[in-house]
Amino acid sequence: MNGAQLIVAALEEEGVEVVFGYPGGAIMPVYDALHDSGLRHILSRHEQGSALAADGYARATGRTGVCMATSGPGGTNLVTGIANAYADSVPMVAITGQVATPLMGTDSFQEVDIFGITMPVVKHSFLLRDVADIPRVIREAFRIASEGRPGPVLIDLPKDVAVAETDAHPLLAGPQPAPKLPDAAAISRAAELLRNAERPVLYAGGGIAIAGAVDAFRRYAETSGIPVVATLKALGALPTRHEQFIGMLGMHGTRAANNAVQNADLLVCVGARFDDRATGRLDGFAPLAKVIHMDADPAEVSKLRVADVALLGDLSGTLERLPAAEIDVDPWMAQCEREREECRPRYDAPGEGVYAPAMLRELTEAAGDDLVLACDVGQHQMWVAQHCHIDRPDRHLTSGGLGTMGFGMPAAIGAQLGNPDKQVVCITGDGSIMMNVQELATINRYRLPIKILLLDNSCLGMVRQWQDLFFDGRRSEVELDDNPDFVRVAESFGIPAFCVERRDEVPAAIDRLLNTEGPVLAHVRIDPQANVWPLVPPGKSNSTMMEEA
């Protein structure tokens, strides 16, 4: 085989089924090898779409996503998607073509140092210089991408290495290492804190889903009876309709969730990293609480908040070793439940226009258990987090750490290809959809039955809200009143579409969106002045929450 054929054979040996990419000169040998392989290649219409689709595929399936692009602009167009996967700890292998090794460093056509450019946003990088190294490198790349705290790995493949011949063969899969667990002394210290706590809170983070620990977390939460709050990425670790779930915490969290944390005497942090959007002003976060911090990544423990007990290792195994039945939290749970009921959102907004939070809630109530939400970034992202029913974290795909506009549609593509039997809905905004609008062509090309709910307020809603609140209403470059006719745009890509402008049209619109065979886009006009509430102002403690007047 030549190097390109060996790359493809090694991907097949790793169990890869779908590859997202875009061809070009330096990567062309690999595309020639794909022609004779069993891999399914999905042609995105922009390399960023390839990387974000691989990201969405990985989040929705738990398997490592794979994307590829050519050298130069192909590689640089992958960077945002790679950085997005790095920020949210998503396993990904990105393969880039590179100019031939004798030309490297000569500023040749489409030469870019993608190895150096991506170094801050990958777990590891490989530059292949010997065709015989390909089996080892592919095996190592997939191991590194998925083990411990997952993340993206880059493989840069020079064209002369891709066409060189070799007798090497793909490596057979080896045994998986046993998961690491905290030492018994740390478990004992954590157990003592739990037994003595009167107001404990389980602070659920995105690491729960990453570690495949959702079931273990649910068992522990239900056996212990401890109230649960979640970060954006952890929504669904405990179903959002569960009686113990108090709400999302942080900047756009619920008052009940933030108050529970502020009044807690013990914070059991499971796979979270004390991100600023969750904690608000850090020195005012959970001021009365001791901290037990569970994580697979030692770098996160005590990085921002010093842990009284650090439990490093496999989350499922750790949760199974913690005491649960001995904890008496009934009075505290009842207090949290009362506050949760007192701050339940209302959906009876005045007027005849579409109220986005109500429509989103009705959508998830109508969709049933097989719904996967792929969400873009902006006000609609927060409304989804606040108002949609989310039953598992892998059913709620959202760009948390990087906040990448344009994530939603490619992520939906990846999710649908990884879960062909599930209903995938992309929630996007008029700003976000234009970031990767070309991926409508990908949806149409493969006739993916993705439903797109486009909330259009003719502005960059979250930026407009912040300018109104914190910049004296001085609006700068947020108006999008020159948007195209999105119905005609979708139809020009071969995707049926319709417009929704009044509240009384919503039930029929949801029915049409969910029950149309194949892809469809619903263009929903909403109030340009609508804000996301509540809101913790920047630089303030989570105890300082702004709410709608």
Please tell me which residue in 159, 245, 339, 505 is annotated as part of the active site. Answer: 159
Is residue 546 classed as helix, strand or coil in its secondary structure?
A: strand
- C-alpha separations of 45 from 22, 74, 223, 225, 447 in Å: 7, 11, 48, 48, 15
**In whole angstroms, what is the distance from residue 184 CA to residue 171 CA?**
37
**In whole angstroms, what is the distance from residue 30 CA to residue 511 CA?**
44
Please tell me which residue in 109, 198, 365, 479 is annotated as part of the active site. Answer: 109
**Which two three-digit tokens encode residue 427?**
């929630």
**Which two three-digit tokens encode residue 202?**
């389980």
**In whole angstroms, what is the distance from residue 22 CA to residue 103 CA?**
23
Please tell me which residue in 28, 110, 111, 491 is annotated as part of the active site. Answer: 110
- C-alpha separations of 5 from 22, 95, 128 in Å: 17, 14, 14
Q: Which of 269, 261, 262, 279 is nearest to 301 (CA)?
A: 269
Give catalytic status of residue 477 as yes or no: no
Please tell me which residue in 5, 14, 20, 47 is annotated as part of the active site. Answer: 47
**In whole angstroms, what is the distance from residue 50 CA to residue 53 CA?**
5
Q: What is the CA radius of gyration of the chain?
A: 24
**Which two three-digit tokens encode residue 166?**
């070799």
Give catalytic status of residue 159 as yes or no: yes
Q: What is the 3-state secondary structure (H, E, C) of 51-69?
A: HHHHHHHHHHHCCCEEEEE
User: Can you say whether residue 378 is alpha, beta or left, with left for phi > 0 and alpha for psi between -120 and 50 degrees?
Assistant: left
Give catalytic status of residue 47 as yes or no: yes
**In whole angstroms, what is the distance from residue 26 CA to residue 72 CA?**
9
CB 488: neighbour CB atoms within 10 A? 10
Please tell me which residue in 248, 405, 462, 545 is annotated as part of the active site. Answer: 462
Phi, psi of 522, rounded to the nearest 5 degrees = -105, 115
**Which two three-digit tokens encode residue 268?**
């059991």
**Which two three-digit tokens encode residue 405?**
């506009």
Give catalytic status of residue 109 as yes or no: yes
Question: Which residues does 536 contact at the CB level (< 8 Å), separation at least 6?
Answer: 250, 251, 252, 253, 258, 280, 542, 544, 545, 546
CA dihedral 331, 332, 333, 334 (to 10 degrees): 50
Sheet holding 18-21, edge to edge: 40-43, 18-21, 65-69, 92-98, 152-158, 124-127
**Catalytic sites, residue numbers:** 47, 109-110, 159, 462
